[in-house]
Homo-oligomer: A and B are copies of this chain.
């Protein structure tokens, strides 16, 4: 059985070193204020006693706890882990810890998490928030906020601007001879979804293509798989999916119906996080998701340091990466069955 040691306080170190508590504090936070010998003596005493500064106490008196929160709608969506990892690495560089929150695509849960985090983080990054603009604005009055993939004026934000990539995707399909296409959409509350949908609509209109929109409840493998019937009913020969996970589900749904991709049907994802991992390798709209996480955190840290909030809007570009799920439109239409 393991027994626990309890914390050594600053007072004990002070006694051991024969100095005041404040000197011990300074030995750790502003050693230049003390004579080198004193610092040395204090550090030695601290070392001997196994002193570790109490984070909570420090946070209380300074108001800075060195934590930032990151809230995502679904950790299991492969778009997020690399982003989270990058965020963590960036935070780490400045000795910040990350609180991670998963909302399960649920605005209620998101609201609750923000509230719970608010007290113990210096700032918050909301990735792909499903909250209303009003709620987000309200939260922003409580603590520094940075948004990912959400465009609200006055709140610093990092956006993946899919329009260029999606436009390329539509062009690509048009060049392959596809005339009827479908967009399998993402969550209604998703800014990315709105943006991708309008980009594809604009592209389709420009090329005189017929476009159908298929709704899904959430961007998941399962939702993609279940959307396949609806997609096929539109008579489309190609589909653009809200994200790679959905696209992967569609891929499976098509395989289950013995529809061969890309011979019989073309498919394009978004985010390019599964690209090489699916079979066939997925053509997808690529977007430096890793950068997004890093940039959002570094932006937040800047705000925390400078204490003033500029209205930053950081948009990252996207481009189509062609792999093996797109090909010429089948000449005499799709043979169902």
Binding site for B on A (CB under 8 A): 1-5, 52-57, 59-60, 65, 67, 75-76, 78, 81-82, 84-85, 88, 95, 97-102, 104, 116-120, 137, 140-144, 154-155, 221, 248, 251-252, 255, 276-279, 309, 311
Whether the pair A4, B102 counts as a contact (CB closer than 8 A) is no
Q: Which residue of B lies closest to A75 (CB)?
A: B81
The docked-state distance in angstroms from the alpha carbon of A55 to that of B135 is 22
Within 8 Å CB of A60, what residues of B? 54, 56-57, 60
Complex: chain B residue closest to A96, CB-CB: B116
- Seed contacts A76-B81, A252-B279; 17 additional CB < 8 Å A-B pairs: A1-B154, A2-B140, A2-B154, A2-B155, A4-B141, A52-B118, A54-B119, A57-B60, A75-B85, A84-B100, A85-B102, A85-B104, A88-B102, A97-B99, A97-B116, A99-B100, A252-B276
Tell me, in angstroms, the Cα distance from A53 to B120 when the chains sit together. 11
Q: A142-B4, A143-B4 are in contact. Are A82 and B76 (CB under 8 A)?
A: yes
Q: Which of A99, A117, A144 has the most CB of B within 10 A?
A: A99
Minimum Cβ distance to chain B for residue A104 (Å): 7
Q: Are A221 and B277 in contact (CB-based, < 8 A)?
A: yes
Picked from B56, B98, B99, B141, the residue with its CB within 8 Å of the CB of A59 is B56
Given known contacts A84-B102, A88-B101, A309 and B1 CB-to-CB distance under 8 angstroms: yes
Q: With the chains together, A238 CA to B31 CA distance in Å?
A: 62
Closest Cβ of chain B to A281, distance in Å, is 9
The reply to whether B120 and A56 form a contact with Cβ atoms under 8 Å apart is yes
Chain B residues in 8 Å Cβ range of A118: 52
* Cβ-defined contact, A97 with B120, below 8 A: yes
Residues of B within 8 A of A141 (CB): 2-5
Q: How far is the CA of A321 from the CA of B230 in the complex (A)?
A: 31
Task: Find chain B residues with CB under 8 A from A82 CB.
Answer: 76
A139 to B277, alpha carbons, bound, how many Å? Answer: 38
Residues in B neighbouring A278, C-beta threshold 8 A: 279
- Within the assembled complex, what's the spacing in Å between the Cα atoms of A137 and B5? 12
Q: Which residues of B contact A119 (CB under 8 A)?
A: 52-56
Residues of B within 8 Å of A279, CB to CB, are: 251-252, 255, 278-279
Is A56 touching B65 in the complex (CB atoms < 8 A)?
yes
Q: Name the contact of A137 in the complex, choosing from B2, B67, B81, B309 (C-beta under 8 A).
A: B2
Set of chain B residues within 8 Å of A75, measured between Cβ atoms: 75, 81, 84-85
Hey, which chain B residues are within 8 Å of A102, CB to CB?
A: 84-85, 88
Q: How far in angstroms is the closest Cβ of chain B from A16?
A: 20
